[in-house]
Structure 1
Amino acid sequence: MLTRADQSEKRGAGWSDPPNNSQSFVSTMRIFYDTVIMRGACVIGSCPREGYKFCFPVALLENDEFLGLLLDEENQYDLTEKRIDGWLEKIKQAVL
């Protein structure tokens, strides 16, 4: 259904709590991103990759940022609040 929907003039932001498997690190987020971009959406809310440990960067954009907020509640729970606050500020700037 998403592949048929017109996403023109739409804005969206995404987040993920990645699995403990570096080979599939937020791969579904990339599939979603590619799908909505192909349908004309504007995706906002990318986030810096600093501080993340991963081997398979499927969710990185051309600017070397993740295409959305990634939260690792198992391994980096102490960084979650700071990451959410920074991400929300970035989204506010994009929509206001």
Structure 2
Amino acid sequence: MLTCTVVRTHHQGRKLDQRDWEEPVRGSVEMASIRREDLHRVVEYLCIPRRQANDPDVIPPLWEPHLLTFGGQGMIVVGFEEIDGSHYYQGWYVRWN
């Protein structure tokens, strides 16, 4: 499986300056879809899979992802994340390892 690092580019919907980004999260990124009854439809999402079933999410899933940029170093994918029942715009800077 291809590994990468993921950095979240926003905090609660507000864009972060690159110097304020959190530490990158290392892992693999998977895309899946699930029926969300609260949204009344099937929604795609990106996630970093948990190592074990009872592990917490390393970062929240990125719902309804859209590719913003793509290049040799990596890509930026945008969507929304859900934190404490609220939806926030979010971007993931994904760099290949």
TM-score tier by shorter-chain length is under 0.3
Instruction: Judging by fraction of residues, say which structure has more helix.
Output: 1
